[in-house]
Each structure stands twice: as C-alpha cells, then as structure tokens.
A and B are shown apart, each in its own frame.
Chain A
Amino acid sequence: MNKTFLIFKHELTLAIKRAGYIILTLIVPVLALLAIGIAQLVTSLSKTPENNIMHIGYVDEPGLVDKAVDEDFTSFIPYASKENANQALTSNEISTYFIIPDNYLSSGTIQRYTLEKENTTSPATVALIKRFLSENLLKDKISPEVLHLVVSPLNLEVTRVTAQGEQAQEQKSFFNVIIPGIFALLLSLALMFGTITLVSSLGEEKESHLIEVLFSSVSIRQLLIGKLLALGLAGLLQVLVWLISTPLLLLLSSSLFGGLMSVIEIPGNFILLGLIYFILGYLLFAVLSIGVGAITPTAREGGQLSMFYVMLGFVPLWFSSLLFAFPNGTFSVILTLFPATAPVQNMLRLGVTDIPLWQILVSIGLLVLTISFGLYSSIKIFRVYMLIHGKRPGLKTIFQHLKSA
C-alpha cells in the first residue's frame, strides 16, 4: 500500500479521535441549538400580554393632545401633573414618561423621565414619541392617508437587474449573507483548529523523536503530504457536520425567526467557490504550519507562533462592517487578493456582492502560487530543522539555511 496513503489513514484516525476535535465538531451545533433554545424560551416568556405592552406616560401642559392614539404594543397614558406621572413611574405602572411643556410649539423640546441608566434614549422610544407627537399635531389638519405617509413616508423596495436590464434571479438581501457569513466563520474556526492540530502534532513528533522513526521508513514528502491530506479531510468532515446541522438548526429556528428559511438565498457560485477557497485556505495554513512546526523546538512554542498567521484568517470577520458598507472598496479588494485573508474574505464577500471575475482568478492564482512556494520552502525548512532541538532559529539563519539547502 502506498506509504502516503498509510500515513494519511493513520493521521486521519488520530485526528478524528482527538478529544479536542470531537468536542469542537459537536460544540458548534450544540451551542447553536442551545442559543435557539434560549431564544425560544425568552420569546415564549415575553409573549404574555402584560409584558408585551409598553406603557408610556405623558403630561400635556399646552393641551395639544385630545386623545392619545395607542400604537401597536404601546399604550400612552395621560397624567395631569409631573408629580402624578412621577408616582406612576416609581410604582412601575409606566416604563417612562415625557412632558410636553407650554412652550413646546416654539421650542420643540420635551422632557423625558426614566428610571433606567441610559446614555441616550433608544431609537425605538424616540420613534414612538415622534410618531405620537406627529399624529396628534396633524390629525385634524390633513387626511388620514397623508398623515400615515407623514408618519411612515418610505417603504423602500429594491430590485436588482442584470446587465441586460432584466430582473436578476438572485436578489440582494440581508439574509443572503447568512449562509456565506456562517461558513466564513466556520472556515476561520476550522483553519485555526487545523493549524493548532498540525503544529502540535509535528511538535510532539519532533519532541518525542518519533519523527526519526517515521523518516527511517518514509520520505519527508510522504509524511507531510499524508498529514496535510489527513488534516484537510478531518477539517472538511468537521465542516460537513456543521453544514448538515446548519439547515436543521435553521429549520428548528424558523418558527422563531418567521419564514427565514424561505428568504435565505445561497449565491449561485458560492458552493463551488466556497469549496475551492476552503481547500486552498486549508492548504495555505497547513504549509505555513509545517514551516512553523519545523523551526520551533516544542509544540507549545509552535502553537504560540502559529497564532500570528491564524489571526489573519479572522481579519475579514473583524472588518466585516466595512465590507458590508463598501463591498467593492479598496480595502475589500486588498483582503480579497491577499492570500492569507482571501479564503474567508471571499466566502463572506460572495454573500454581499458579485466579486469581479478577475479578482477571483487573481486571488486563486496567488493562493496556488503561495501554497506551492510555501510547500517547497516548508519541506526544505523541515529537512534542515526536523532534527534540531533547542533554540528557535532567527529569520536570517532560516534564509541562510534555505539558500544552502
């Protein structure tokens, strides 16, 4: 049997039997399930009518309000004086109250009182009070239809069209980013844990001199490729478990989030490109890990050093707000092309916009080049440093050894 396959089989068995791997694989769906359960519990608890309605008090000094118009889930309760309103607030009959002062029409200022420690009034409360005032100020002056439009003037519907001017099959929606977003996050996690596994596995083998026994039977190339493929498949299996559990979890949570499943669209090229970026991303981080595993004397030090490039995998997630605001901005394009950020960035970006073909091709090309060069260098570095124990070499020494190897 091919030795690379034997190593692949052995490493895969070791990897998927690791307690850390099993826990991580199961913890993502379990945590998601737990989150859904908690959310459902909170929702069901908050569905009691008394908890559902917000009571807001007001004191109308100029007499502008003839009759309070209750909004959905909100009841406006008039009070004759500030003292009365204050008493209602402190006895928790109302959650907040506001005073419309005599000079309101000239100043436009009202005072709000609350028991909560707030930096600023929440936008929802502001909107409720605004709507209450607008409706009362205008209700006898304009028709109810116009009044409705004054209060809610905009219901924006956007239709995406193709270059031919026809309605596009795939419409832009916030929900379209959910699946790519989830997978970008999962890819980052898989890259992180794959890297840690590979670096610690190489570190342990180096520390225990197991690597010497292995190299007396197989070549460096056979060992490293066997390991890469095994850990790559272990990562894919992990993602597969998450992938299978995601629709189930979404289905479970669909009652909670309404018809979410029906509005979620997976971008057309996402599955193919997602798979390509996942594999390339995994290989890139794996070859970097081989280099790190070779030059670091212990598994612990290797793990610490690998964190530097593992963090790069998370950069697109940290800057995701920038991506949503400017999906085709310069920063987004840089992250798209830079090999260490490209896999996660592009998976995320596919959910937000159509990535120009040239950017996809260049990013894949750069990834392939970096992986090839990384593998070549890592094997060389590994050959030089696999038997060296003790102090980690400096960059200058590594380059010198690489040149002479």
Chain B
Amino acid sequence: MTAVNVNHLYKSYSGKAAVEDLTFSVNSGELLGLIGPNGAGKSTTIKILLDFMKPDSGEVRIYGESMNETLKNKIGYLPEERGLYKRLTAIDQILYFSSLKCMNHSTAVKKADQLLRQTGMLESKQKKIKDMSKGMGQIIQFIVTIIHDPQLIILDEPFSGLDPVNTEMMKKFIAQLRDEGKSVILSTHQMNQVEELCDRVLMINHGREVLYGDLLEIKNNFKEHSVLIDVAGEIGNLHGVINQKVNKGIIELDLLPETTPQSILDQLIEKEIPIHHFEIKKPSLNEIFLQLAGGNHE
C-alpha cells in the first residue's frame, strides 16, 4: 500500500524555487531516505507533506487522502530542531503529545514507560527538558514521535546531537519500525547515516531530484570497476589490473573493463596469498552525490 504519494511538487520563496517538480512515493514497510546537502529543500518538502505550508503547485496524498485531522493521528514527526517544552518533565511532555494524538491516557502511560526503559531514559522521566543534554532531549523527542504507534513516521535529522551509542540505538529503533510495517521517511544531510537503513533514496539538490530509486540498484549502477583487498604479503603483478593504490594497508585495485573481480580473487588464491579481506568497491552515497551534483553542489 502506498503511504505517501507526491506529484510534481513546486514551492518557491520570493520567486526562488525551494522545491521544484518533485515526484516520489513511500510504500508501507519501506524506509525512504530523503537526502541532500543543507538547504537542498528537504525540510520544505517535509513541511509541505505535513501540510504546514501549501505548495505553489503539485499534489500530496497520504494514504490516498489530502491531509486532515484524522490522518495527523497516523503520523509521527520528529523535527530538525528540538520541539519540546523546556520547563516540562519528560513524562508530562510525552503524555501531553500522546493525548494530542488521541491516545488513551493509561495506554500512553504504559507505552511511555516501556519506551523510556528501552531507551535507558526511565530514570530521567521526571527530569525537565531544560536540565537534559541535547542527546537526551532528542531521545525524548523520538519517543514523542512514535508513542502513538504511527503508520507514517517522518524523521528530520534524527541523529543530530546523539553520541555513537545512541545513534546506533536510534538506528535499531528505526529499522525495527520499518520491519513492523511502518513507512519511514528519513531526512538527513549525513548521507552515510542512511546507507545501512534505507530501502530507497530520494536525493535532492537545489530543490530538484538528483537521484531516486532503490539503494542497491543505485549503488550497483554507480559501482566503480575496482576491488579492495587486505592480504598478507606482496601481491606482485596481477593480470587485468591497471592501477593500484594503498591506503592504511588496504589495497585498491582498478581493473581493466574486461577483468572481473572473480578473476582477481582466483589469481590471489592461485598465488597462495592469505586474504584477510576482499571487497568489490561500491561508491558511498556521498560520492554518488558529488559525482552527480558536481559543480552545482555548494
């Protein structure tokens, strides 16, 4: 089932296009990465999706409908900046926002305790947001976003302010939500953060689509003809290699067009060189973006 359908979206500020002819969709149980550099138009797209602002033209449908009050209860939104009452305690905050999503109070109390425990925040539930670190506030914001069991979750820079441990925890939560059949839009300028999570990506720059599609297909399409190896000893001359570079003990071999990675692996085995690591090099999303955006990337 299609959760989000966006057709030919256009939005400008003072005559300057912020979003230009964007078309994309998000299916149930799918995690779409909305990626691009700062100022690419990601937040504007999200604000139009959530009906915070009207597009100049184009159409947004959520579960086949235009945004309405009932639909809002099916959506969880985590904004780019923390949107919490600084003087309220974590638990009061969570319960208030859950009530605005029409959640039953006793269910909300149980769910809040469960999520606070899962995120290691149970002991801080009576703490005021102003007394919390940015990372702790971000976790509370995340709980506020998902407490009402939304079908569509929109996360704008969810890893901002999180330490590596909490970033990993958040990633696991997001993956779990996707596995539970929720639709997730994950917007970020840190493209490496979404590579391991997203099923599909929509890459935008200057409000325009740069790339849109299945992440694996994209990576395959953009894969370079080279392999990365970590071996014990000298590899000597290998047939079909046109160039080799060494970086921190990892050797990158650029191959001739007719050479396959398998033939390189076969040669190494034949030479009885112990292999610690063998990888067909695929470009990161960041590299793909730089390749596509080229000089247009600011």
Binding site for B on A (CB under 8 A): 1, 3, 6-7, 10, 14, 208-219, 383, 386-387
Contact = CB atoms under 8 A, between A and B. Distances in A.
Main secondary structure, interface of A, reads helix
Interface string B208-240: 000000000000000000000000000000000
A1 B77 CA distance: 21
Nearest to A7: B100
Contacts of A215: 50, 52
A207 to B, nearest CB: 9
A216 B77 contact: yes
Contact of B72 (A6, A218, A383): A218
B100 A209 contact: no
Contacts of B55: none
Contact of A6 (B52, B53, B100): B100
Nearest to A216: B77
Contacts of B84: 208, 210, 213
B144 interface: yes
Contacts of A14: 85
Given A6-B100, A217-B101, A210 B83 contact: yes
A216 B75 contact: yes
A387 B52 contact: yes
Given A208-B86, A386-B52, A387-B52, A213 B79 contact: yes
A210 B97 contact: no
A383 B86 CA distance: 24
B69 A213 contact: no
A383 B50 CA distance: 13
A208 B101 contact: no
Which bracket fits the contact residues of B? Answer: 20 to 34
A403 B76 CA distance: 32
A326 B100 CA distance: 53
B124 to A, nearest CB: 19
A208 B81 contact: yes
A117 B213 CA distance: 91
Given A213-B79, A216-B77, A217-B97, 9 more contacts: A6-B96, A208-B86, A209-B79, A212-B77, A212-B79, A216-B76, A217-B73, A218-B72, A219-B69
Interface centre among A210, A217, A383 (most CB of B within 10 A): A217
Contacts of B47: 212, 387
15 contacts: A1-B102, A14-B85, A208-B81, A208-B82, A209-B80, A210-B84, A210-B85, A212-B77, A212-B83, A213-B83, A214-B100, A215-B52, A216-B75, A217-B73, A218-B69
B99 interface: yes
B83 A208 contact: yes
B97 A213 contact: yes
A386 B50 CA distance: 14
Interface of B: 47, 50, 52-53, 69, 72-73, 75-77, 79-86, 96-97, 99-102, 141, 144
Contacts of B79: 209, 212-213
A218 B100 contact: yes
Given A215-B52, A387-B47, A10 B83 contact: no
Nearest to B50: A216
Contacts of B141: 213
B101 to A, nearest CB: 6
A405 to B, nearest CB: 8
Nearest to B87: A14
A10 B99 CA distance: 11
A387 B53 contact: yes
Contact of B77 (A6, A210, A213, A219): A213
Closest 4 CB pairs of A and B: A213-B83, A217-B100, A216-B77, A209-B81
Contacts of A1: 99, 102
A10 B96 contact: yes
Contact of A209 (B75, B82, B97): B82
A215 B50 CA distance: 8
Contact of B83 (A3, A7, A211, A218): A211
A217 B50 CA distance: 10
Contacts of A383: 53
Nearest to A383: B53
Contacts of B76: 216
A73 B76 CA distance: 80
A216 B52 CA distance: 8
Nearest to B13: A388
A86 B206 CA distance: 93
B17 to A, nearest CB: 17
B266 to A, nearest CB: 56
